[in-house]
Amino acid sequence: MKILVINGPSVNMLGIREPKIYGTKTYDDLVALINSTCKKNNIFVEIFQSNHEGEIIDKIHSAFNDVDGIIINPDSYAHTSIGILDALKSVNIPTVEVHISDIMEREEFRKFSYISTYAFKTISGWGLSGYVYAIMFIKSYLEKVKEPAS
């Protein structure tokens, strides 16, 4: 089983960016958590981060016929990017959306996510542990409904 974890704008600034909202753990801590969780569960993982919408779209397109599932934290692009939504729809790979903060408890404009209209699960407000939940959720889902792509 192979999954792609995509992180959008400013996720690379974890630990520095608004620690009262996002915590003090760094992006390196997040990458280590994802890698550790996947290793324990025999999941091959690729982790990608970009602050650029087009790069995220290109990465999603490159996942076609290469990964079994996508976990995406689109960050602010959740609320603005129909392009990322369309990219996810075009590759038709099972997708889980993750947000470190609880977007429903934040500013009004953050309460709608284009990505959640496609993702079969949205995890919001669990901090970095939301990624662990997303990994386990997508693993269980893929084991039930899809033959892994090698």
Sorted by where each begins, the domain ranges of the chain are 2-142
What is the dotted CATH code of the domain comprising 2-142? 3.40.50.9100
pLDDT of amino acid 149: 55
Q: What is the pTM of this model?
A: 0.91
pLDDT of amino acid 130: 97
pLDDT in tens, 3-31: 999 999 999 999 998 888 888 999 999 99
Spatial CB neighbours of 26, under 8 Å, sequence gap ≥ 6: 14, 15, 16
pLDDT in tens, 34-87: 999 999 999 999 999 999 999 999 999 999 999 999 999 999 899 989 999 999
Q: Look up residue 69 and give its two tokens.
A: 């599932």
pLDDT of amino acid 18: 85
pLDDT of amino acid 58: 98
- Write out the catalytic residue numbers: 22, 99
Distances (CA, A) of 67 to 71, 84, 86, 97: 11, 17, 18, 16
Task: Give me the numbers of helices (H) and strands (E) for the chain, helices first please.
Answer: 5, 5
CA distance 107 to 118: 22
- Which residue's entry shows tokens 């689109």? 74
pLDDT of amino acid 94: 97
Angle at 76 between CA 70 and CA 120, to 5 degrees: 35
Which letter does DSSP use for residue 105 in this model?
A: G
